[in-house]
Homo-oligomer: A and B are copies of this chain.
Amino acid sequence: MSEFRRNPVFGNWIIIDTERNFSQEKHSVENGVEKSDTAYCPFCPGNESMTKPEILAFSNNPHRYPNTGDWKLRVVPNNKPILQVESAIKRQAYGIYDKMEGAGAHEIIIESPQHDLQFKNAPLEYYENAYKAAISRVRDLRNDIRFEHIFYMKKYGSHGNYPIGSHPHSQIIALPIVPKQVNEELDGALRYFNYKERCVFCDIILQEIDDGIRIIAENESFIALCPYASRYPFEVRIMPKTHKSDFDLISDAEMSALANITKTVQTKYSLVLDDCPGTILVHTAPLKKRNLSYYHWYLEIIPEIAVLGNIDKGTGLFVNPIFPEDAAKHLKG
């Protein structure tokens, strides 16, 4: 059972989740799967019984039974979820502190039956299915009024000795709180809106199109750029050109355009950064705020480029060794 604890000064919630394996000797902690479990992959076809019963599946076979093979994509609950959907949300005091049971949902989108499919080489249909499944899950989870925010995130590439990490998948995490960082982004956008009466993200898009030097790709619905104040080298943001605050309000046409530009960015990454792994994260409005005029959803991609001697941990101060204009120049090719 996991527990939420609130930092009494910063006000952010931390999740303590002891279901994760924790190895002191190796200074490492695994997310849901034993390090020794290299003999099998629970995400591979034929191993459907190793996951919890599927929530959603895409298949070309209209007669397919759930939890059998012959699928293109499956969504399953995480075997060792950070949060359990069954828990009630009970906030309570602990002296001067605050805590809460770890209610929420933690689902895995198994994006392909092919274990060794590389994200950068995946066909367009793969990207389309992945986004289609994610949006479908967000739209469904939104109906549970206990949830306040949903993260959709994907880690691609090889992340250390993490056996299932290499089977292409993404995660959906529904939370009973709005994370502090999400509220901060909303507050910042609202401050700008109150002052300018314009969406700051729409303004950013206009300036970026005007400047041109940080844009790496563009199509009818999206623009991909290296943000002006990039925290990480080769950080990329994919922004919808039409103002919308909620990821799950995306249209089918936009979904295809998003799949397309994601693939384009990954191709560019592979040319410049080789097989550098990374994280994709959707920034979207909290569930109970919708159609906001001051917020604008977007997708963030952070390659895992090691910055030795970096000082951001604890300080929150990011030092980026490359100007985003130069990163964009490399990626544009």
Instruction: Report which of B5, B10, B188 forms a contact with A188, defined as CB distance below 8 A.
Output: B10
B contact residues around A159 at 8 Å (CB): 308-309
Within 126-163 of A, Cβ neighbours of B (below 8 Å) are at: 151, 153, 155, 159-160, 162
- Report 14 cross-chain contacts, Cβ distance below 8 Å, ordered by A residue: A8-B228, A8-B229, A9-B192, A13-B229, A14-B229, A20-B321, A27-B274, A27-B306, A28-B306, A29-B306, A159-B309, A165-B309, A181-B316, A302-B313
Whether A36 is near chain B, meaning CB under 8 Å from some CB there, is no
Instruction: Report which of B11, B189, B314 forms a contact with A300, defined as CB distance below 8 A.
Output: B314
Known: A188-B11, A309-B155. A179 touches B317 (CB 8 A): yes
Which partner residue on chain B sits nearest A330 by CB separation? B24
Number of copies: 2
- Say how far A17's CB is from chain B's closest CB, in angstroms: 5
Instruction: Report which of B179, B201, B272 forms a contact with A316, defined as CB distance below 8 A.
Output: B179
Given A16-B320, A179-B316, 15 more pairs with CB closer than 8 A: A6-B229, A9-B201, A11-B188, A14-B319, A15-B320, A18-B322, A20-B307, A20-B319, A24-B272, A25-B274, A27-B305, A29-B310, A96-B207, A179-B315, A302-B313
Known: A27-B306, A308-B29. A18 touches B188 (CB 8 A): no
Contact B188 A308 (CB under 8 A): no
- Say how far A201's CB is from chain B's closest CB, in angstroms: 8
Known: A228-B5, A229-B7. A204 touches B96 (CB 8 A): yes
Whether A180 is near chain B, meaning CB under 8 Å from some CB there, is yes
Known: A16-B323, A322-B18, A323-B16. A151 touches B309 (CB 8 A): no
Contact B9 A314 (CB under 8 A): no
- Say how far A34's CB is from chain B's closest CB, in angstroms: 12
B contact residues around A302 at 8 Å (CB): 313-314
Within 163-196 of A, Cβ neighbours of B (below 8 Å) are at: 165, 171, 173, 175, 179-182, 184-185, 188-189, 192
Contact A29 B97 (CB under 8 A): no
Whether A279 is near chain B, meaning CB under 8 Å from some CB there, is yes
B contact residues around A16 at 8 Å (CB): 230, 319-324
B contact residues around A173 at 8 Å (CB): 311, 317
